[in-house]
Homo-oligomer: A and B are copies of this chain.
Amino acid sequence: MKIGLIGLGKMGLNMAQNLLHHNHEVVAYDLNSNAIKEIEKHGAKGVSSILNLIKMLEKPRVIFMMVPHSVVDSVIIELTPFLNSGDIVIDAGNSHYKESIRRYTNLKKVGVRFMDVGTSGGTEGARNGACYMVGGDPEAWRVAEPVFQDTAVENGYLYAGKAGSGHFLKMIHNGIEYGMMAAIGEGFEVLEKSEFDYDYEKVARVWNNGSVIRSWLMDLAEHAFSKDAKLEEIKGMMHSSGEGKWTVETALDLQTATPIIAMSLFMRYRSLEKDTFTGKVVAALRNEFGGHAVEKCEKVITD
Protein backbone atom coordinates (compact mmCIF):
# COMPACT_ATOMS: atom_id res chain seq x y z
CA MET A 1 0.00 0.00 0.00
CA LYS A 2 1.10 3.55 -0.58
CA ILE A 3 1.18 5.43 2.67
CA GLY A 4 1.79 9.04 3.57
CA LEU A 5 3.76 9.36 6.77
CA ILE A 6 3.96 12.65 8.64
CA GLY A 7 6.44 12.77 11.48
CA LEU A 8 9.92 11.28 11.45
CA GLY A 9 10.91 11.42 15.07
CA LYS A 10 12.19 8.38 16.97
CA MET A 11 8.91 6.55 16.51
CA GLY A 12 8.18 7.73 12.96
CA LEU A 13 11.60 6.80 11.59
CA ASN A 14 11.32 3.29 12.94
CA MET A 15 7.74 2.95 11.73
CA ALA A 16 8.79 4.02 8.25
CA GLN A 17 11.46 1.34 8.12
CA ASN A 18 8.97 -1.21 9.35
CA LEU A 19 6.53 -0.23 6.59
CA LEU A 20 9.24 -0.30 3.95
CA HIS A 21 10.42 -3.68 5.20
CA HIS A 22 6.91 -4.99 4.52
CA ASN A 23 6.94 -3.64 0.98
CA HIS A 24 4.72 -0.66 1.55
CA GLU A 25 5.52 2.50 -0.34
CA VAL A 26 6.21 5.34 2.06
CA VAL A 27 5.89 9.03 1.20
CA ALA A 28 7.41 10.80 4.16
CA TYR A 29 7.35 14.32 5.46
CA ASP A 30 8.89 16.03 8.47
CA LEU A 31 9.86 19.59 9.32
CA ASN A 32 13.36 18.26 9.82
CA SER A 33 14.96 17.78 6.42
CA ASN A 34 17.71 15.61 7.86
CA ALA A 35 15.14 13.10 8.98
CA ILE A 36 13.73 13.06 5.45
CA LYS A 37 17.19 12.43 4.01
CA GLU A 38 17.71 9.66 6.53
CA ILE A 39 14.52 7.81 5.62
CA GLU A 40 15.17 8.22 1.90
CA LYS A 41 18.26 6.08 2.42
CA HIS A 42 15.92 3.31 3.47
CA GLY A 43 13.81 3.61 0.36
CA ALA A 44 11.10 6.08 1.27
CA LYS A 45 10.13 8.95 -0.96
CA GLY A 46 10.77 12.16 0.93
CA VAL A 47 8.70 15.25 0.26
CA SER A 48 9.26 18.84 1.26
CA SER A 49 5.70 19.81 2.11
CA ILE A 50 2.35 18.42 3.12
CA LEU A 51 0.92 19.52 -0.19
CA ASN A 52 3.52 17.44 -2.01
CA LEU A 53 2.73 14.49 0.21
CA ILE A 54 -0.96 14.75 -0.67
CA LYS A 55 -0.17 14.96 -4.36
CA MET A 56 1.88 11.79 -4.35
CA LEU A 57 -0.82 9.60 -2.78
CA GLU A 58 -3.70 7.88 -4.52
CA LYS A 59 -7.32 8.12 -3.38
CA PRO A 60 -8.47 7.06 -0.98
CA ARG A 61 -5.31 8.38 0.59
CA VAL A 62 -3.94 6.73 3.74
CA ILE A 63 -2.04 9.20 5.88
CA PHE A 64 -0.24 8.19 9.03
CA MET A 65 0.61 10.88 11.57
CA MET A 66 3.30 10.07 14.11
CA VAL A 67 3.69 13.51 15.70
CA PRO A 68 3.55 14.96 19.23
CA HIS A 69 -0.06 15.35 20.40
CA SER A 70 0.43 19.09 20.72
CA VAL A 71 0.79 19.52 16.94
CA VAL A 72 -1.85 17.09 15.71
CA ASP A 73 -4.42 19.85 15.26
CA SER A 74 -2.08 22.06 13.27
CA VAL A 75 -1.13 19.19 10.97
CA ILE A 76 -4.81 18.37 10.42
CA ILE A 77 -5.56 22.02 9.66
CA GLU A 78 -2.81 22.01 7.08
CA LEU A 79 -3.99 18.71 5.58
CA THR A 80 -7.72 19.27 5.45
CA PRO A 81 -8.00 21.65 2.47
CA PHE A 82 -6.26 19.12 0.24
CA LEU A 83 -8.08 15.99 1.33
CA ASN A 84 -10.93 14.31 -0.50
CA SER A 85 -13.94 12.44 0.75
CA GLY A 86 -12.92 8.92 1.61
CA ASP A 87 -9.36 9.74 2.55
CA ILE A 88 -8.13 8.18 5.77
CA VAL A 89 -6.16 10.09 8.38
CA ILE A 90 -4.55 8.06 11.14
CA ASP A 91 -3.23 9.60 14.35
CA ALA A 92 -0.83 6.95 15.62
CA GLY A 93 0.59 9.13 18.37
CA ASN A 94 -0.41 9.70 22.00
CA SER A 95 -3.40 12.01 21.68
CA HIS A 96 -6.09 12.42 24.30
CA TYR A 97 -9.09 10.28 23.35
CA LYS A 98 -11.46 13.20 23.71
CA GLU A 99 -9.44 15.14 21.17
CA SER A 100 -9.60 12.14 18.87
CA ILE A 101 -13.38 12.00 19.16
CA ARG A 102 -13.55 15.71 18.34
CA ARG A 103 -11.23 15.30 15.35
CA TYR A 104 -13.17 12.28 14.12
CA THR A 105 -16.43 14.23 14.28
CA ASN A 106 -15.03 17.30 12.57
CA LEU A 107 -13.28 15.37 9.78
CA LYS A 108 -16.36 13.25 9.23
CA LYS A 109 -18.22 16.43 8.24
CA VAL A 110 -15.91 16.76 5.25
CA GLY A 111 -15.98 13.05 4.47
CA VAL A 112 -12.52 12.31 5.83
CA ARG A 113 -12.21 9.16 7.89
CA PHE A 114 -10.18 9.61 11.05
CA MET A 115 -8.66 6.78 13.06
CA ASP A 116 -7.12 6.99 16.53
CA VAL A 117 -4.34 4.51 17.03
CA GLY A 118 -2.43 3.94 20.21
CA THR A 119 1.01 2.53 19.44
CA SER A 120 2.96 0.66 22.07
CA GLY A 121 6.22 -1.23 22.18
CA GLY A 122 8.64 1.64 22.14
CA THR A 123 11.03 2.44 19.32
CA GLU A 124 12.10 -1.16 18.93
CA GLY A 125 8.49 -2.23 18.53
CA ALA A 126 7.89 0.49 15.97
CA ARG A 127 10.73 -0.98 13.95
CA ASN A 128 10.21 -4.70 14.33
CA GLY A 129 6.65 -5.24 15.44
CA ALA A 130 4.46 -2.77 17.24
CA CYS A 131 1.30 -3.12 19.27
CA TYR A 132 -1.67 -1.14 17.96
CA MET A 133 -4.97 -0.21 19.61
CA VAL A 134 -7.28 1.21 16.98
CA GLY A 135 -10.51 3.18 17.15
CA GLY A 136 -12.56 4.92 14.49
CA ASP A 137 -14.45 4.28 11.31
CA PRO A 138 -14.96 0.53 10.68
CA GLU A 139 -14.98 1.04 6.89
CA ALA A 140 -11.66 2.80 7.05
CA TRP A 141 -10.40 -0.02 9.20
CA ARG A 142 -11.13 -2.49 6.39
CA VAL A 143 -8.90 -0.43 4.11
CA ALA A 144 -6.10 0.19 6.57
CA GLU A 145 -5.95 -3.12 8.42
CA PRO A 146 -3.23 -4.66 6.22
CA VAL A 147 -0.84 -1.89 7.19
CA PHE A 148 -1.31 -2.64 10.88
CA GLN A 149 -1.26 -6.38 10.36
CA ASP A 150 2.07 -6.16 8.56
CA THR A 151 3.81 -3.86 11.00
CA ALA A 152 2.47 -5.29 14.25
CA VAL A 153 3.86 -8.20 16.12
CA GLU A 154 1.68 -11.31 15.82
CA ASN A 155 -1.71 -10.74 17.50
CA GLY A 156 -0.44 -7.24 18.23
CA TYR A 157 -3.28 -5.16 16.88
CA LEU A 158 -6.90 -4.70 17.84
CA TYR A 159 -9.69 -2.75 16.25
CA ALA A 160 -11.44 -1.72 19.45
CA GLY A 161 -14.49 0.11 18.17
CA LYS A 162 -15.80 3.61 17.80
CA ALA A 163 -13.76 6.78 17.62
CA GLY A 164 -11.64 7.38 20.71
CA SER A 165 -11.53 3.75 21.77
CA GLY A 166 -8.00 3.29 20.45
CA HIS A 167 -6.44 6.20 22.24
CA PHE A 168 -8.48 5.45 25.36
CA LEU A 169 -7.04 1.94 25.40
CA LYS A 170 -3.52 3.28 24.93
CA MET A 171 -4.06 5.79 27.74
CA ILE A 172 -5.13 3.03 30.13
CA HIS A 173 -2.22 0.89 28.92
CA ASN A 174 0.12 3.66 29.96
CA GLY A 175 -1.65 4.05 33.31
CA ILE A 176 -1.08 0.35 33.98
CA GLU A 177 2.51 0.80 32.84
CA TYR A 178 3.02 3.56 35.43
CA GLY A 179 1.75 1.27 38.18
CA MET A 180 3.81 -1.71 37.06
CA MET A 181 6.98 0.33 36.81
CA ALA A 182 6.46 1.84 40.24
CA ALA A 183 5.83 -1.59 41.74
CA ILE A 184 9.05 -2.89 40.21
CA GLY A 185 10.93 0.19 41.38
CA GLU A 186 9.68 -0.12 44.93
CA GLY A 187 10.65 -3.76 45.03
CA PHE A 188 14.23 -3.02 44.02
CA GLU A 189 14.33 -0.11 46.48
CA VAL A 190 13.49 -2.41 49.37
CA LEU A 191 16.18 -4.82 48.14
CA GLU A 192 18.63 -1.94 48.01
CA LYS A 193 17.90 -0.93 51.60
CA SER A 194 17.93 -4.47 52.91
CA GLU A 195 20.70 -6.27 54.73
CA PHE A 196 21.33 -8.41 51.66
CA ASP A 197 23.72 -7.82 48.82
CA TYR A 198 21.94 -8.67 45.62
CA ASP A 199 23.15 -8.53 42.04
CA TYR A 200 20.18 -6.74 40.50
CA GLU A 201 20.89 -7.86 36.98
CA LYS A 202 20.73 -11.46 38.16
CA VAL A 203 17.65 -10.73 40.24
CA ALA A 204 15.88 -9.23 37.24
CA ARG A 205 16.93 -12.21 35.16
CA VAL A 206 15.61 -14.80 37.58
CA TRP A 207 12.41 -12.82 38.05
CA ASN A 208 12.03 -12.78 34.30
CA ASN A 209 12.30 -16.54 33.93
CA GLY A 210 9.46 -18.55 35.29
CA SER A 211 8.21 -16.16 37.96
CA VAL A 212 4.75 -14.63 38.24
CA ILE A 213 6.15 -11.15 37.53
CA ARG A 214 7.98 -12.03 34.34
CA SER A 215 7.33 -9.25 31.88
CA TRP A 216 8.95 -7.11 29.25
CA LEU A 217 9.57 -4.43 31.86
CA MET A 218 11.56 -6.94 33.92
CA ASP A 219 13.51 -7.78 30.78
CA LEU A 220 14.29 -4.11 30.36
CA ALA A 221 15.27 -3.89 34.02
CA GLU A 222 17.77 -6.69 33.48
CA HIS A 223 19.19 -4.81 30.53
CA ALA A 224 19.41 -1.54 32.46
CA PHE A 225 21.18 -3.20 35.38
CA SER A 226 23.58 -4.93 32.99
CA LYS A 227 24.82 -1.50 31.95
CA ASP A 228 24.88 0.14 35.40
CA ALA A 229 24.71 -2.40 38.21
CA LYS A 230 23.36 0.00 40.86
CA LEU A 231 22.03 2.69 38.52
CA GLU A 232 24.57 5.02 40.06
CA GLU A 233 24.70 7.18 36.98
CA ILE A 234 20.99 7.80 36.74
CA LYS A 235 19.04 10.32 38.76
CA GLY A 236 15.72 9.10 40.06
CA MET A 237 13.79 11.86 38.35
CA MET A 238 10.66 10.34 36.88
CA HIS A 239 9.27 12.53 34.14
CA SER A 240 5.96 11.80 32.51
CA SER A 241 4.47 12.62 29.17
CA GLY A 242 0.84 13.00 30.10
CA GLU A 243 -0.99 9.72 29.67
CA GLY A 244 -0.73 8.77 33.33
CA LYS A 245 -2.24 12.12 34.26
CA TRP A 246 -5.03 11.62 31.73
CA THR A 247 -5.74 8.19 33.18
CA VAL A 248 -6.14 9.61 36.66
CA GLU A 249 -8.27 12.48 35.40
CA THR A 250 -10.47 10.01 33.57
CA ALA A 251 -10.73 7.85 36.68
CA LEU A 252 -11.83 10.94 38.64
CA ASP A 253 -14.49 11.70 36.05
CA LEU A 254 -15.70 8.12 36.22
CA GLN A 255 -15.58 8.16 40.04
CA THR A 256 -13.23 5.18 39.98
CA ALA A 257 -10.72 4.51 42.71
CA THR A 258 -7.31 4.07 41.09
CA PRO A 259 -4.91 4.43 44.02
CA ILE A 260 -2.07 2.52 42.40
CA ILE A 261 -2.01 4.50 39.18
CA ALA A 262 -2.54 7.80 41.01
CA MET A 263 0.21 7.15 43.54
CA SER A 264 2.65 6.14 40.84
CA LEU A 265 1.95 9.48 39.15
CA PHE A 266 2.26 11.47 42.38
CA MET A 267 5.55 9.81 43.22
CA ARG A 268 6.79 10.90 39.79
CA TYR A 269 5.83 14.47 40.54
CA ARG A 270 7.45 14.15 43.96
CA SER A 271 10.67 12.91 42.37
CA LEU A 272 11.05 16.18 40.49
CA GLU A 273 11.10 18.24 43.69
CA LYS A 274 14.10 18.84 45.88
CA ASP A 275 11.98 19.86 48.83
CA THR A 276 8.26 20.21 49.38
CA PHE A 277 6.06 22.81 50.96
CA THR A 278 4.06 19.97 52.52
CA GLY A 279 7.22 18.89 54.26
CA LYS A 280 7.98 22.39 55.47
CA VAL A 281 4.50 22.76 56.93
CA VAL A 282 4.61 19.40 58.69
CA ALA A 283 8.10 20.06 60.05
CA ALA A 284 6.98 23.48 61.27
CA LEU A 285 3.90 22.03 62.97
CA ARG A 286 5.95 19.35 64.73
CA ASN A 287 8.23 22.08 65.94
CA GLU A 288 5.31 24.13 67.16
CA PHE A 289 3.63 21.49 69.30
CA GLY A 290 6.47 19.28 70.35
CA GLY A 291 9.53 21.42 70.09
CA HIS A 292 10.88 18.90 67.59
CA ALA A 293 13.97 20.26 65.94
CA VAL A 294 13.67 21.45 62.37
CA GLU A 295 16.46 21.31 59.87
CA LYS A 296 17.30 24.79 58.78
CA CYS A 297 17.89 25.66 55.20
CA GLU A 298 21.34 26.96 54.58
CA LYS A 299 21.27 30.67 54.27
CA VAL A 300 22.78 32.02 51.12
CA ILE A 301 24.91 34.92 52.15
CA THR A 302 25.14 37.63 49.57
CA ASP A 303 26.52 40.96 50.56
Contact = CB atoms under 8 A, between A and B. Distances in A.
A141 interface: no
B164 A236 contact: no
Given A160-B198, A203-B158, A266 B258 contact: yes
Interface string A148-191: 00001111111011101100110011111111111111111111
Interface stretch (A20-28, A73-81, A204-212): A204-212
Contacts of A257: 186, 266-267, 269-270, 273, 276, 278
A217 B210 contact: no
B121 A280 contact: no
A287 to B, nearest CB: 7
A262 interface: yes
B258 A190 contact: yes
Contacts of A162: 196
B175 A179 contact: no
A125 B238 CA distance: 34
Contact of A158 (B158, B181, B202): B202
Contact of A217 (B188, B189, B215, B267): B215
A251 to B, nearest CB: 5
A158 to B, nearest CB: 4
B271 A180 contact: no
B237 A295 contact: yes
A156 B209 CA distance: 5
Of A190, A218, A251, A269, most buried by chain B (CB within 10 Å of CB) is A190
Contact of A235 (B217, B237, B260, B296): B296
B281 A189 contact: yes
Nearest to A274: B274
Contact of A209 (B154, B161, B165, B264): B154
Nearest to A101: B195
A157 B123 CA distance: 31
A224 B177 contact: no
Of A158, A206, A241, A251, most buried by chain B (CB within 10 Å of CB) is A206
A297 B234 contact: yes
B215 A282 contact: no
A269 to B, nearest CB: 5
A88 interface: no
A220 B182 contact: no
B220 A285 contact: yes
Interface stretch (A39-47, A50-58, A107-115, A129-137): A129-137
